Amino acid sequence: MPNVFYVTGYSYQHQIRAIRRQHDELSAITPIKKVLIANRGEIAVRIIRSCRELGLQTVAVFSEADRTAIHVRMADEAYFIGESPSSESYLVADRVLKTALDCGADAIHPGYGFLSENSTFARDCEAAGVIFIGPSASSIEAMGDKTAARALMEKAGVPMAPGTVDAISDHKEAAQIADQIGYPVLIKAAAGGGGKGMRVVLDPQDFISSLEAASREATSAFGDGRVFIEKYISHPRHIEFQILADKQGNVVHLFERECSIQRRHQKVVEEAPSSVLTPELRQKMGDAAIAAARSCDYLGAGTIEFLVDKDMNFYFMEMNTRLQVEHPVTELITGIDLVAAQIRVAEGHPLPWKQDDIRMNGHAVESRVYAEDPSNNFLPAPGFLEQHSPPAGFGVRLDAGVEEGSEIPMYYDPMISKLSTWGSNRQEAIARMSRALEEYQITGVPTTIPFCHFVMNHESFTSGHFSTHFVADHFSGDALRNTDPDLERDLAMAAALYVDAYHSAKNGSAKPVEVTEVSRWQKNRRD
């Protein structure tokens, strides 16, 4: 029998095994030194900041429209990759990868949108020896095809709305399946997202025509006309779980985000945590999210999206294999830098937390500020920011890739910024958001700020009794039009004075402005 020596309660042999295990873990780590950010706007700025804190060099890429953008100036290096349309710049995968290779970047962070869920790009990065800060190509493919994802979820035991697992090939058979499920039903494209290739069918007589229309739209948008059917959940809550996974097989969730305030099937206001989940339901949904991530051997940050019906049953909707736009609210309630975590697990480091180590602290709300006109069906409104004066104060965070004078180009998503607030509870976070929105001054383009302020002060939202149909049920453009003629006059006068002063200062011909009428603010001021 070999001699065994005991040190501080552990055997010498145990210590040797621990040292060997640590050596194996360290040898599997590939340090990242330089990161190319294959994106633009606020998310590019966000990634650059985390990279700096980690001591990493950063590389920006830019289109013609973004030559003077903030992310270009912030990065250590910046390279022109094409003309303004994304199809000629940010979506040209081989050009982005060649830039990374030419400048010596050993990793690429795709952000969200553009190439973030392009499995071919992820695979090409791996083949070229460049770390793709995201999941594997196979995971992206598995979750990018909604029918393949449903098959995985069925196997993993994740709840799904009744429907077809495979794509529909026979229209007559599909109609029979719809009858069995029960109307209303939802026809969805197997590929892509963003509400394209989607139809709600209320009447059996409309099923075939809706099926054909959805398939045509999916073919046009994604080059793939396959569709499937599932039961339509009327007035659901849209609740998603943030997950993180490492190469060692560890998976945790960072709780949920409520994303039910939407227009055109796209989110505008998010919060964390949801106001309707009980601790028991939160645990069940979190366990389901982890099972979903494990089903495709996931790596990095991802989001499992669920629909929750009026009876608090939850159903898998889809998985986003990337960082989400709304990740700041999760960071605010957990204190975890998701971008830094993405980079660490991409290097090969194990997650530093077990599930029980992650705690929620307080409540966070995010308002997406778009250059859109909410009084005109949220019509995009690109243009120049004549004024951009962000709010500040305790518990206020602004993620922006713009400044005063910046252009919101017509070529990309019209996001200006993401405004997030934290509070010790939901009421405090909402009140802080309402205050911050009032402080946030933008001129030159219409924005979603008035709509977000409308949400913060609507009883349906503040009480927590709302659904994905909030806009249809409670909002119209008329809600943002002031009925107080005195207030409208004061606002018009203030806007005119600002524009005059702005252009005079810009031209070097500033002159005193005489106010001929006292405003209501001046009348009511208390000295």
Q: Annotated active-site positions, please?
A: 322
- Pick from 331, 453, 344: which is nearest to 399 by CA? 331
Tokens of 392: 């500040």
What is the Cα–Cα distance from 398 to 37, expressed in whole angstroms?
20
Q: Return the H-helix or E-strand segment holding 306.
A: strand 300-308
Pairing of β 227-231 and β 185-189: antiparallel
Q: Return the H-helix or E-strand segment holding 262.
A: strand 251-263
Tokens of 169: 């090939």
> 324: helix, coil or strand?
coil
Q: On the CB side of 158, how many CA atoms lie within 13 Å of its CA?
A: 28
**Cα 141 off chain centre by:** 19
In the numeric block, the tokens 């005193």 are attached to 512
What is the Cα–Cα distance from 290 to 250, expressed in whole angstroms?
10
Longest CA–CA separation in the chain, Å: 101
- What residues are paired with 516 via a beta bridge? none
> 201: helix, coil or strand?
strand
Neighbour count for residue 19 (Cβ, 10 Å): 10
CA distances from 225 to 13, 167, 497, 527 (A): 60, 10, 54, 67
- Pick from 324, 287, 285: which is nearest to 308 by CA? 285
List the Cα angle 144/147/148 in 5-degree steps.
65
Tokens of 505: 């200062």
Structural contact between residues 251 and 244, judged by C-beta atoms closer than 8 angstroms: yes
User: What contacts 208, CB < 8 A, 6 or more positions away?
Assistant: 171, 175
What is the Cα–Cα distance from 245 to 319, expressed in whole angstroms?
14
What is the Cα–Cα distance from 23 to 18, expressed in whole angstroms?
9
User: What contacts 167, CB < 8 A, 6 or more positions away?
Assistant: 147, 190, 226, 227, 228
Q: What are the φ/ψ torsions at residue 397 (nearest 5 degrees)?
A: -130, 135
Q: What are the φ/ψ torsions at residue 437 (nearest 5 degrees)?
A: -65, -35
What is the Cα–Cα distance from 308 to 258, expressed in whole angstroms?
10
Structural contact between residues 367 and 448, judged by C-beta atoms closer than 8 angstroms: yes
What is the Cα–Cα distance from 431 to 394, expressed in whole angstroms?
12
Beta strand extents in 144-231 (DSSP E only): 185-189, 198-201, 227-231
